[in-house]
Amino acid sequence: MVDFIKVEGNPAERGFQQGDKLKDKIHNMFDTVFHSKMFSEVTSKLIPLSIVKFALGIMGKKNIKKPLQQLLPNQFEKMMALRKGAGIKRGIIYGAHFIEVMSGDPKSIYKNPPIQACSMIFALPEATPDNSMIFGRNYDFPNVLQPFQVIREEIPENGYRNINFTQYPLTGCHMGINEKGLAIGYNYGRAWKKEPLDFRLKGVPGTFIVQEVLESCAKTQEAIDFIINFTGRANGCHYGLMDTSGDTCVIETTSTRHAIRRPENNILAHTNHYQTKELENANLPEYVRFKMDDMDISPIESPIRRYNREIELLTKYNGQITMNIIKDILSDHDNREPDDFTVCTHGPSAGTLGSIILFPLKKEFWVTDNYPCNSEYEKFTL
Residues 151 and 234 in one domain: yes
Residues 22 and 130 in one domain: no
How does pLDDT run across 175-194, given as a tens digit for each residue? Answer: 999 999 999 999 998 887 76
By DSSP bridging, strand 295-297 and strand 290-292 are antiparallel
Does the pLDDT of residue 109 top 50, yes or no?
Answer: yes
Residues 227 and 327 in one domain: yes
114 in a domain, yes or no?
Answer: no
Q: Kindly indicate the confidence band of residue 296, based on its pLDDT and cuts at 50, 70 and 90.
A: low
Final residue belonging to a domain, choices 46, 69, 102: 102
174 in a domain, yes or no?
Answer: yes
How does pLDDT run across 256-277, given as a tens digit for each residue? Answer: 999 999 999 999 999 999 999 9
Q: How many structural domains compose the chain?
A: 2
pTM beyond 0.85: the answer is: yes
Using an 8 Å Cβ cutoff, are 192 and 285 in contact? yes
Residues 233 and 175 in one domain: yes
Read off the DSSP letter of residue 146. G
The whole domain housing 201 covers 119-381
Buried residues in 173-210 as b, exposed as e (16+ CB within 10 A): bbbbbbebbbbbbbbbbbbbbeeeebbbbebbbbbbbb
112 in a domain, yes or no?
Answer: no
Q: Which helix H or strand E contains 23, and what residues bound it?
A: helix 23-34
Residues 132 and 98 in one domain: no
How does pLDDT run across 41-90, given as a tens digit for each residue? Answer: 767 777 888 888 899 999 999 999 999 999 999 999 999 999 999 999 99
Residues 33 and 129 in one domain: no
Query: How far is residue 116's CA from residue 138's CA, in Å, rounded to a whole number?
Result: 10
Final residue belonging to a domain, choices 43, 76, 102: 102
pLDDT of residue 110: 47
Q: Percent of the chain, pLDDT > 90?
A: 78
In sequence order, which residues have a C-beta less than 8 Å from that of residue 80 and are 6 or more positions away?
Answer: 12, 15, 93
